[in-house]
Structure 1
C-alpha cells in the first residue's frame, strides 16, 4: 500500500498548528465533554475551528442569558430569583445550541471511528517531520502525565507541550480572562490572609463556574493527545523499519502485534 498513490483517508497530518489525526474514541465520552462545555467534544475530534466557535457561543449565550447565576440561585434554593434573572430570549437559543452540539459531536465521533478503521486498513505512511518558515512540527514520544500536570497548573500549557499551538494560546488567553473576571486571584489572597467573608464576597460566580469545566477539559485533552502522539510515533517507526527492511529475513514486527 505504501508504494501506491496516497490513500483517500490518511491517518494523520502535520500542519503549522500541530498534529491532526484520526483516532478511535468513545462517542459517549465525546458527548460528555460536549455537555460539560459545548465545543470541547469537537476539539477532542480535532475539529478545532468549529470547537472554537462553539466555545465562544457558550460563553456569549450563557452570559447574555445569565445561565450560571441562575444555576447558583437554584442550588441555593432561591428559585424565584433564578427565574427572575434569566433572559428567556437568550436561554431558548442556548438550550437549542446545547443539545444540537451534543448530538453533532456524538454523531461525528461515530463516523470518525469508521473513518479510522478504513484509514488503518489503507495504512498510508505517516509524516514524521514538517519544517515551516515559522515553526517545526514533528511526532515524538510524550508523557501523558506531564501533559496533564501542565494543564492542571495552567490550562493551555499541556496543549503547548503537545505542539497544539493555536489551541494552547486560545486556552491560555481565556484562562486569564476567567481568572480576572471571576476575581479568583483576589479571593485567594483574602483567603490566605484569613479574610474568609471578603474572600467569598469578592467572587463573581458567573465566570467562576466556567473554570472547573475548562480546567478538566484541558487536562483530559492534553492527556489523551499525548497518548495519541505516542501511538503515532510507534506506528511511524514501525512503517519506516518495515519498508526499509522488508526484504530482510529477520522479522522485527508482525501484523498481529499492531494495536494502533
Structure 2
C-alpha cells in the first residue's frame, strides 16, 4: 500500500482534499460565472469560495479601504434614491480610478482559477479520494463527518462566521467574524436598531452610516450561501471518502462493480 502524507497518498499527483486540524481545503465543481459574480459583488468573496483565504483577505481589506476612500457606496446609495448630483459629489474620482483595475482583476482572476480548479478536480477524481478523515493537533481536532446544511445556514444568518465554526473552517470564520464586527460597529446599525425600537426614527437615521451599512447585504448573503454550499460538498466528500475506504480495504480486487 502506498504511504500516506499530509492526508493523501504520496503517489497521487492531484490532491482532492487536505484536512488539517483547523480547516478542510477541498476541490469540487463550481460554476465559474457564479464565483465571478460573487467577486463582482464584493472583491475577495470569490476567492473565499476557492479556499484562497490569504488572497481573499487582501482583496477584502483592499475593497473596504478603497471603497470607503472613493465614497462608492454613498454614490450608489444616492444614485438608487435618484439624488444624482449628491452621488457625483460623494464620489472621489481619483480613488475611484484607482479602484477599477483591482476590481476587474479580482473578477478575471477568480474566473480563470475556477476553470483551472474544475479541471484539476476531474483529474483528482480519477485518482480517488484517499484522505485521512481525522486530524488532531495540540490546539484543535477536525474530522470528516456529516453535517446539516440548514444548521450552518441558520448560524451564519444569526452571526456571520458561526456557521463556518460549525464546519471547522476556522480561517474563514476569523475573516468573517472580524469583518462582521468591524462593519457592524462602523455602520452604527445596532444603535439605529435600538433607536428604531424606541420609535426614535430621526435618531436612528442619524446613527446609520450608509457607506459602511451597504457592506452588510453582500456579507450576510455570501456567508450564508457559502456555509450552506460547503456543508453540502462536505457531505459529498464524506461519502466519497467512505466509499474509497471500503473499496480499498474490503472490496475484492476481482469484483466487477456494476454500473
| Alignment partners' CA distance in 1, 2:55 and 2:22 | 15
Query: Which residue in the other structure is 2:6 paired with?
Result: none
| Alignment partners' CA distance in 2, 1:247 and 1:217 | 45
| TM-score of the pair, normalised by structure 2 | 0.93
| SS of 2:160 mapped into structure 1 | coil
Query: Which residue in the other structure is 1:117 paired with?
Result: 122
Aligned-residue offset at 1:255: 7.0
Which residue, out of 47, 53, 63, partners 2:52? 47
Query: Which residue in the other structure is 2:38 paired with?
Result: 33
1:150 aligns with 2:147: no
Aligned-residue offset at 1:17: 3.0
| SS of 1:137 mapped into structure 2 | strand
| Alignment partners' CA distance in 2, 1:144 and 1:61 | 34
State the number of aligned residues. Answer: 254
Moved more, 28-37 or 242-251: 242-251
Q: Note the residue ranges of structure 1 that are not aligned, 5 or more in a row.
A: none
Structure 1 residues 255 and 97: alpha-carbon distance in aligned structure 2, compared to 1, 3 A threshold = farther
Aligned-residue offset at 1:20: 0.2
Aligned-residue offset at 1:60: 0.8
| SS of 1:130 mapped into structure 2 | strand
Moved more, 131-140 or 73-82: 73-82
| Alignment partners' CA distance in 2, 1:128 and 1:87 | 51
Query: Which residue in the other structure is 1:9 paired with?
Result: 14
Structure 1 residues 182 and 213: alpha-carbon distance in aligned structure 2, compared to 1, 3 A threshold = same
Provide the alpha-carbon RMSD of the alignment: 1.9
Aligned-residue offset at 1:94: 1.1
Aligned-residue offset at 1:248: 8.1
| SS of 2:11 mapped into structure 1 | coil
Structure 1 residues 63 and 255: alpha-carbon distance in aligned structure 2, compared to 1, 3 A threshold = farther
| Alignment partners' CA distance in 2, 1:67 and 1:202 | 20
Which residue, out of 158, 179, 195, partners 2:184? 179
| Alignment partners' CA distance in 1, 2:253 and 2:96 | 66
Query: Which residue in the other structure is 1:201 paired with?
Result: 206
| TM-score of the pair, normalised by structure 1 | 0.92
